[in-house]
Amino acid sequence: MPTDRSTTDSSAGVNNASRPNNAAPNNALPSARKPKILARRRLKESDVNVVNQPMLKKALGGTIVGNTMEWFDVGVFGYLITTMGPVFLPEADKSVQTLFLLGTFAATFIARPLGGVVFGWLGDKIGRQKVLAATLMIMAASTFAVGLLPGYAQIGIWAAALLVILKLVQGFSTGGEYAGATTFVSEYAPDKRRGFFASFLDMGSYLGFALGAALVSVLQLTLGQTAMEEWAWRIPFLIAGPLGLIAIYFRNKIEESPQFQATLDAQESIGQAAAAADVDAAKSPVGIVKAYWRSLIVAMILVAAANTAGYALTSYMPTYLTESKGYDPVHGTLLTIPVLVIMALCIPLTGKLSDRIGRRPVLWIGAISTVVLATPAFLLIGVGDVWSTLAGLSLIAFPVTFYVANLASALPAQFPTANRYSAMGIAYNFAVAIFGGTTPFIVAALITATGDDMMPAYYLMATSAIGAVAIYFLKESAKRPLPGSMPSVDTQAEAKELVATQDENPLIDLADMPFESQDVTDAAASKVPAGV
């Protein structure tokens, strides 16, 4: 990048940019009074992070397992609600049992924002890897503990109380999981393929949900409802124990995000007290909100739009098919599973597409297709045949595929490296708590209030219309380095080319990179060689 020569000489009233290159700069001034300008150090080859491919794969695998476990539990608990009611509240009416379990499910979302704030702050302070290991341990332990809970017959109402407490703990840990996972993978991935690699997180999420739903369905079909209520409901939760140990082993093997580590190293080498003070101030939740409120609002709207469609497909659709369309609970679940699996396998493709055409265009496809396809989707489901139901579910899954595949790469890129985990924890978890977890309640209430089975479609259309507006204000991040991080590439040859073409590369902004600026005299600045 050419040295900025536009600083105004206040003593002579001359703008340096207008002075010919061979003119003597203010010869009348003593050398000690010659004006200083800010010369930003140029990008060198050693500044560029060349991705360690084996470590990237290990980091990706170690991160995906946490998301898969999180959604495995969501699928298991959601589909065991009618089974677990008699276990914890046997003397209550069926409707009271269902309301209690739905409320317990919602408790995880109530605790998520607090977990997002706490773990986000820790992740920016002590590192991503340590915090992600901790969230996975807590999440696996609490899920396993649910399977060990005594029922009402053993300890009375305390059984229900303990279930709520464990779900609150689980929600607290989950609040740090997705925000940290997206941050971690985005910082590990090369800039040109960040969308592709980050999309695997949501592929794992929906496969985990489908796995949980499938396991519950198989147990219901093979063991029967009586065995499920007596003891078999514990099996899916207990499976989380050994799976969690395996996942924790892999997660402890991954190293710290290279971009975050480089940022810490750069801050230590710069030694600028003012810059350090600014970073520390921004690390508090209040500081995060003050510093990045515009980006936080945009991120929250997009998370709300995407998760409204996502939770309508996963958490609400089995209930809708059962209560509004006459399917029995098992078949209501089974119909969603193949759609979820196919959608999950397609998610990396839309992530890769965003690397080619940009995050915003792909997100617009998700928002606009939701508005266009929501009504036909629910009309097809309303026909009542298996083929039409599958077709309707597929129309809902189509926009979700474009939404979720790209939020994992687009949202972390809206915030600088030093504060990325905290900002993601706030934006994602507050939006999910307010809109994602409440989607089943809201659409059910709308149907009850209006008597119109098409209300879910109108609700999805409204949230995505607002989401489309937010996409307009989203900063495009495809192929660009993360703000506050050095460029990240696949090969050393790419690093050489990037340094050689940095002056004309529109994707490179040195002002966003974590190296020091230097005060030099006007004359000295003109002698700064390329690459120094």
Q: Is residue 519 part of a domain?
A: no
Q: Phi and psi of 347, rounded to 5°?
A: -60, -45
**Is the C-alpha dihedral spanning 506, 509, 510, 513 positive or negative?**
negative
**DSSP codes of every residue in 356-377:** HH-HHHHHHHHHHHHHHHHHHH
pLDDT at position 28 is: 42
Query: Does the pLDDT value for residue 6 go beyond 60?
Result: no
Say whether 9 sits in a helix, a strand or coil.
strand
φ/ψ bin of 156: left (φ > 0), alpha (ψ from -120 to 50), beta (otherwise): left
In this structure, are residues 123 and 422 in contact, taking their beta carbons and an 8 Å threshold?
Answer: yes
CB atoms within 10 A of CB 527: 10
Interior/surface letters 134-144, b for 16+ CB within 10 angstroms, e for the rest: bbbbbbbbbbb
27-83 pLDDT per residue, tens: 444 444 444 444 457 888 888 989 988 888 888 988 898 888 888 888 888 788 878
Q: Is residue 523 part of a domain?
A: no
Q: Is residue 527 part of a domain?
A: no
Q: What angle do CA 87, 90, 91 make, to 5 degrees?
A: 165
Q: Is residue 6 part of a domain?
A: no
Interior/surface letters 275-311, b for 16+ CB within 10 angstroms, e for the rest: eeeebeebbebebbeebbeebbebbbbbbbbbbbbbb
pLDDT at position 268 is: 62
Say whether 83 sits in a helix, a strand or coil.
helix
**How far is 512 from 523, CA to CA, in rounded Å?**
26
**DSSP codes of every residue in 199-229:** HHHHHHHHHHHHHHHHHHHHHHHHHHHHHII
Q: Is residue 190 part of a domain?
A: yes
pLDDT at position 74 is: 83
The whole-number average pLDDT for the span 273-297 is 72
In this structure, are residues 514 and 266 in contact, taking their beta carbons and an 8 Å threshold?
Answer: yes
**How far is 460 from 462, CA to CA, in rounded Å?**
5
The whole-number average pLDDT for the span 258-276 is 61
97-121 pLDDT per residue, tens: 877 887 888 788 889 999 999 999 9
Q: Is residue 329 part of a domain?
A: yes
Query: Does the pLDDT value for residue 528 go beyond 80?
Result: no
User: What is the count of structural domains for the chain?
Assistant: 1
Average pLDDT, the chain: 83
192-235 pLDDT per residue, tens: 999 999 999 999 999 998 999 899 889 988 998 889 999 999 99
Q: 130: domain range?
A: 46-267+292-472
What tokens does 256 get?
Answer: 């710290």
Q: Is residue 313 part of a domain?
A: yes
**CATH number of the domain bearing residue 451:** 1.20.1250.20
**Is the C-alpha dihedral spanning 64, 70, 74, 76 positive or negative?**
positive
Q: Is residue 167 part of a domain?
A: yes
**How far is 147 from 357, CA to CA, in rounded Å?**
46
Query: Does the pLDDT value for residue 436 go beyond 90?
Result: no
Distance from the Cα of residue 135 to its chain's centroid: 15
The whole-number average pLDDT for the span 271-299 is 72
Query: Does the pLDDT value for residue 130 go beyond 60?
Result: yes
